[in-house]
Amino acid sequence: MKEEEGYTLSSPLFEDLWSRASMRRKFSDLDMVGGWVRTEVALARAQAAVGLIPAEAATAIEETGKSHVFDMVAMRHGVTATLHQLMPFINQFRDACPDDAGQYLHWGATTQDIIDTGAMLRSREAMSMILEGLETLEAALAALCAREAETVMAGRTHGQQALPITFGFKVANWLSEIRRGRARLKAMCERVFVVSIVGAVGTSAYMGPKGTEVAQKVAADLGLGWDPVSWQAARDRLGEMLSGMILLGSSLGRIGHELAVLQKTELAEVHEPHGPEQVGSSTMPQKRNPSIAEGVLSAGLMLRAQAGLAMELMATEHERDDSRWQIDSRIVPEVFLLLDGQIGNLTYLVEGLEVDRERMRANIVAEVAGEPMMRALASFLGRHNAHDVLHECFMLAHERRIPILDVLSANESVSAHLSKEQLQSLMDPSSYLGVAVDVARNEAGRAC
């Protein structure tokens, strides 16, 4: 372990709490350099195809790209010495090429072309991992939604019990939101993942009239899109990608928050998985904390904190501006790592969630019958009069700590029309679920 290692998202001690190894590998320096190599090779192949460089030079560049092992330590020192992100890489690649083939490397391209295109390759592959993870999460939520479609619990507004719902209905709300988030990410992929092979200011002047054809060939080679207009200064693609991911992370954070609240001792309606070696407290052995749910919530908070910086990326000057561009290499990996880890943690939580159905039912208070009682009494008194009578009864029961059924039975306006037995029937939460069960079943039945 290096002494200087310790940044949370890449700390050997803590990194698995926030991110997954597969995504960390995708945003490693090795993978980044690999993207630069793929871009330079695709550029050489395209330029050879249109006659800008010799075919044998392109072949040599391609073979060198496959076989050369880059000296990452030397490259690190080179970046520090030159204060340039790409020149140490270009120099190593050039020197590794046989004969004079290296002289045709990076022909007509600029640093940002290679770094941006390499970043698009990496982001597209990382996005595929995000979308795959979301499918797994959706499947877990759909299974939970179907299983708990009829599990009656209190629906809450403003933190207070309001009307009865089912836990499956609540999960359907989460599932629907995640599906919309995934759809947004899928929809933006074609717009966002585009090559940048346009030269110093976006005119492809070095490659002349064949510049457009070269860029199109590079795009086809790498499986990316192409735009005839340079986007070196127009960073809305990155803004859209990051915004969509941050929005999704906020949705996941909301679910994590809800699951943490439902685990409070006073509610105890659900419990997240608890491993055999897991510890809730160093001093209180009874603690079983909602650690996973809190981690999902925390990741959502950190992702939202990146929203302003994501928009700041777009405030570039003229045809290119390094002041904002340098932020890409920090914010993009962090957003991908946090979101991917958040998806993995929430999936694990949902798949192993313990639902205490008896506790959910027992937690429901008699006051959730207020609306069904009002509806029944409205047939006799009118809707607004029924509301006023019942409001007075409920407030009296609260102030004097009297069971609401006793107060209602003693009220002449109520007892004249509704018997004690009818009132008790209206207090059955399973009799006033509306479309909750159908919504849960329908949402759970939708294919991912």
- Secondary structure (DSSP) of 100-122: TGGGGTTTT--HHHHHHHHHHHH
Structure confidence at residue 21 as a pLDDT band (50, 70, 90): confident
> Known catalytic residue: 68?
no
Burial class (CB in 10 A: 0-12, 13-18, 19+), 246: buried
Distance CA 57, CA 40 (A): 12
**Do 361 and 152 touch, CB atoms closer than 8 A?**
yes
Cα 232 to chain centroid distance, Å, stands at: 26
> Known catalytic residue: 158?
yes
Provide the residue type at 231 as one letter. Answer: W
φ/ψ of 355, rounded to 5, equals -110, 120
> What is the pTM for the complete model shown?
0.92
**Do 344 and 18 touch, CB atoms closer than 8 A?**
no
Which single residue is written with the structure tokens 């052995």?
285
Catalytic residue among 281, 379, 430, 431: 281
pLDDT at residue 277 is higher than 80: no
The encoded tokens of residue 347 equal 């999936």
Tens of pLDDT, residues 210-244: 999 999 999 999 999 999 999 888 889 999 999 99
Please provide the average confidence, as pLDDT, over all residues in the chain: 93
Distance CA 342, CA 348 (A): 10
pLDDT at residue 206 is higher than 80: yes
Percentage of the residues of the chain whose pLDDT score is greater than 70? 97
**Do 292 and 348 touch, CB atoms closer than 8 A?**
yes
Max alpha carbon distance in the chain (Å)?
103
CA 221, 222, 225: angle at the middle one, nearest 5? 100
What are the strands, taking DSSP E only, across 105-174?
152-157, 160-166
Lowest mean pLDDT among 72-86, 325-339, 363-377: 325-339
CA 119, 125, 129: angle at the middle one, nearest 5? 135
**Do 104 and 44 touch, CB atoms closer than 8 A?**
yes
The residues, ordered by sequence, that sit 6+ positions from 64 with a Cβ below 8 Å of its Cβ are 93, 96, 97, 98, 101
The SS3 assignment for 270 reads strand
Work out the average pLDDT over 357-375: 94
**Residues recorded for the chain:** 448
Distance CA 48, CA 67 (A): 20
pLDDT of residue 7: 65
Tens of pLDDT, residues 150-174: 999 999 999 999 999 999 999 999 9
Work out the average pLDDT over 423-435: 95
The SS3 assignment for 380 reads helix
pLDDT of residue 173: 97
pLDDT at residue 118 is higher than 70: yes
The encoded tokens of residue 415 equal 């007892």
CA 119, 138, 296: angle at the middle one, nearest 5? 70
pLDDT of residue 447: 64
HSE-CB of 102 using CA atoms within 13 angstroms: 14
pLDDT of residue 321: 80
pLDDT at residue 148 is higher than 80: yes
